[in-house]
Amino acid sequence: MKGKRWPGFLVVLILLAGALLFLRQYQGNGTGDHFGFDRNIVPLIYARHAKCRMSCRHIDESEIKDILHNGKINYAKSEPEAKPDPKFALEGVTHDNQHVRVIFAPSDRGMVVITCIDLNAEWQCDCR
């Protein structure tokens, strides 16, 4: 009877190992290596909406660059398969301790900054 349990145990072990590897790859490690996200794409191109949101939230370009290079990718808020350009949500803390999420879209023209969000505060903003 004990000999018959080995194949089932081995299958469960292989499935568990595969699931753990999948989750680790999907969640990422914050370096941006997954889904082909390159943190070094230049130039940075700021969408009009991003500029407006940055102004409302008192976030400057140095903070955006810091989030791009050091922020952690939030895959739950990212769209790596989006067309025409994938979108990546990177999160981090700015110089003045704002917890922010910045949406980046690598494109043929450069790295597009789509928007930025302060995750801890609502700001009065009239961006359209």
Residue 89 CB-density burial (10 A; 0-12 exposed, 13-18 middle, 19+ buried):
buried
| Sheet strand arrangement including 44-46 | 44-46, 111-118, 99-106, 88-93, 72-73
Burial 25-60 (b: 16+ CB within 10 A, else e): eeebeeebebbebebebeeeebeeebebbbeebebe
Question: Left (φ > 0), alpha (ψ -120 to 50) or beta: where does 64 sit?
Answer: alpha
Q: What is the pTM of this model?
A: 0.74
Instruction: Give CA–CA dist 41/54, Å, rounded.
Output: 20
User: What is the pLDDT confidence band of residue 127, given thresholds at 50, 70 and 90?
Assistant: confident
Q: Which fold has domain 31-118?
A: YaeB-like fold (3.30.2310)
Q: What is the pLDDT of residues 24-69, one digit of tens each?
A: 544 444 444 456 689 999 999 999 999 999 999 999 999 999 999 9
For the chain, domain boundaries: 31-118
Higher per-residue confidence, 125 vs 33: 125
Strand pairing partners for 46?
A: 113
- Whole-number percent of the chain with pLDDT over 90: 66
Residue 73 above 70 pLDDT? yes
Rounded to whole angstroms, the Cα distance separating 48 from 26 reads 31
pLDDT (0 to 100) of residue 27: 46
Which amino acid appears at position 97 of this protein? N
Quote the pLDDT of residue 23.
53
**Residue-level pLDDT at 8:** 74
